[in-house]
Amino acid sequence: MNTAELELPVSVPSTALFTDQYELTMLQAALRSGTAHRRSVFEVFTRRLPEGRRYGVVAGTGRVLDAVENFRFGPDVLDFLRSRAVVDEATLSWLADYRFGGDIHGYPEGEVYFPGSPVLRVEGTFAECVLLETVVLSILNHDSAVAAAASRMAVAAGDRPLVEMGARRTHELAAVAAARAAYVGGFSRTSDLAAGFRYGIPTSGTSAHAFTLLHDSERDAFTAQVESLGRGTTLLVDTYDVAEAVRTAVEVAGPDLGAVRIDSGDLLLVAHRVRQQLDELGARDTRIVVTSDLDEYAIASLAAAPVDSYGVGTQLVTGSGHPTCSMVYKLVARADDADDGGTGGAGGTGGGGALRPVAKRSLGGKSTVGGAKWAARPRDADGVARAEVLGTGALPEELADVRLQVPLVRAGRTIGREPLDAARDRHRAALAGLPLSATQLSRGEPVLPTEQR
């Protein structure tokens, strides 16, 4: 679903101000110099993965498509820019008609990526492309970081389901995006109703410690919850004494109690004790849910515990120690002639002359590789990926079937939108196609080498 149809609850009427001021001042200067309409190619990539990570996960592509569609400079936005003297009247006039009219290709959402992977390629005039830099990076850096953490947690959890519970640990709008990215990365549910409403993600939740503390006794609280939500509900059993709470829970709900949740203590030890107690009380089908500041390492440590599912919050929505992917948006090619790439108006991509590769040359590992790039991932005889191959110019015929980029926007029209479950399924398949060492949680190098051709 297009989030524009659901009136995205932000304090500005479009995504146009989700940007840095220098995008607009560059536009003004380029319009004045006559270079604004040169046909240009920008690419999104990261120079390196977060330390110790073996792969990255592309997430947020669908939100990028929404953001591009909603990038409009309405009267209120233009009045704000005019009142702050951000740009001159000629630039404001150009912005009033802005519509992205170029092309966007990229890795499909849910795909994995590696250092240098051209995750997104934006083509059009310099003017129309440069304006999108900040909002594109804002979305991809956040969502891909959360999805990578979610993927690692899902690997650690194995077949046990994961519930995203991080809404209270981040900005209210970031929480919705994080729930979406976590779903792509392998989580099955979220506690955030806005994410369920906007993206159709399954939601779940029952009660917190406050509900138990509200009542005169734990028995009263459990009775109220079971009478309201049914015997299949999940009762929180660590408000006071866990053993006593489990006994009371089974007495109130009977052996058909759906689940108990443990949110504190030595989870490995407590889970074993609770499982034994539940079995002795005849509640053999009652599930055990654990929460309490989990990350992928804590989840892995519980692999041998009798745990049925996990709830994860803080570490998930903050990327488990890596809240950004350090993706950048760089100009890699442009036309020589100011008239070669466009019609001179907002949104036009114009002619088709040859493009000159351009690259940044600097110290400190910040140089770039010029030229619009293709990406492919050849596989060995067993179907396992063996390298991330990047190149410019014509794609070799032998790599045509393993090309990674797909069309997302053509001449300003979105053509790559897909259901969120498609991205989730794609990530599962992409991960299965990597070398087995990709699923190791120990620190290591990227699981695939990046080869330049």
Strand partners, 376: 389, 403
The answer to whether residue 7 scores a pLDDT higher than 60 is no
The answer to whether residue 10 scores a pLDDT higher than 70 is no
Query: Nearest CA to 94 among 34, 27, 35, 39?
Result: 27
- Residue 128: phi and psi, rounded to 5, are -75, -30
Between CA 332 and CA 357 the distance in angstroms is 6
The answer to whether residue 189 scores a pLDDT higher than 60 is yes
The answer to whether residue 199 scores a pLDDT higher than 60 is yes
Average pLDDT over residues 178-207: 97
- Residue 40: phi and psi, rounded to 5, are -140, 155
The answer to whether residue 272 scores a pLDDT higher than 70 is yes
273-316 pLDDT, tens digit per residue, is 999 999 999 999 999 999 999 999 999 999 999 999 999 999 99
Q: What is the mean pLDDT of the chain?
A: 93
Tell me what pLDDT residue 362 has.
Answer: 75
Tell me what pLDDT residue 8 has.
Answer: 46
Other residues' Cβ atoms within 10 Å of the Cβ of residue 155: 18
Q: What confidence category does residue 5 fall into, taking pLDDT thresholds of 50, 70 and 90?
A: low
388-414 pLDDT, tens digit per residue, is 999 999 999 999 999 999 999 999 999
DSSP state of 183: H
350-366 pLDDT, tens digit per residue, is 344 589 999 988 776 77
Tell me what pLDDT residue 13 has.
Answer: 57
Query: Nearest CA to 427 among 147, 52, 237, 131?
Result: 147
Between CA 132 and CA 410 the distance in angstroms is 16
Between CA 291 and CA 289 the distance in angstroms is 7
- Residue 170: phi and psi, rounded to 5, are -155, 175
Lowest mean pLDDT among 2-16, 34-48, 391-405, 439-453: 2-16
CATH class entry, domain 206-291: alpha beta
pTM, to two decimals? 0.93
Between CA 272 and CA 449 the distance in angstroms is 42
The answer to whether residue 339 scores a pLDDT higher than 70 is no
Give how far Cα 272 sits from Cα of 266, 267, 298, 305, Å. 10, 8, 16, 6
Q: What confidence category does residue 347 fall into, taking pLDDT thresholds of 50, 70 and 90?
A: very low
Q: What confidence category does residue 3 fall into, taking pLDDT thresholds of 50, 70 and 90?
A: very low
77-132 pLDDT, tens digit per residue, is 999 999 999 999 999 999 999 999 999 999 999 999 999 999 999 999 999 999 99
State the first-to-last Cα distance of the chain, in angstroms, to the nearest integer: 39
Tell me what pLDDT residue 387 has.
Answer: 97
Q: How far is CA 172 from the centre of its chain?
A: 15
Considering the domain 3-133+326-452, what is its CATH architecture?
Alpha-Beta Barrel (3.20)
Query: Nearest CA to 121 among 371, 452, 339, 341?
Result: 371
Query: β-strands 373-376, 388-392: how paired?
Result: antiparallel
Lowest mean pLDDT among 56-60, 66-70, 346-350: 346-350
DSSP state of 419: -
User: Who wins on pLDDT, 81 or 337?
Assistant: 81
DSSP state of 292: S
Query: Nearest CA to 20 among 136, 142, 119?
Result: 136
Tell me what pLDDT residue 340 has.
Answer: 53
Strand partners, 357: 333
Torsion sign over Cα 194, 231, 243, 220:
positive
- Domains of the chain by residue range: 3-133+326-452, 206-291
Tell me what pLDDT residue 353 has.
Answer: 58
Name the residue type at position 35.
Answer: T
Helix axes 61-69, 420-432, angle to 10 degrees: 140
Q: Are 62 and 418 in contact (CB under 8 A)?
A: yes
Q: Are 266 and 284 in contact (CB under 8 A)?
A: no
The answer to whether residue 175 scores a pLDDT higher than 70 is yes
Name the residue type at position 172.
Answer: E
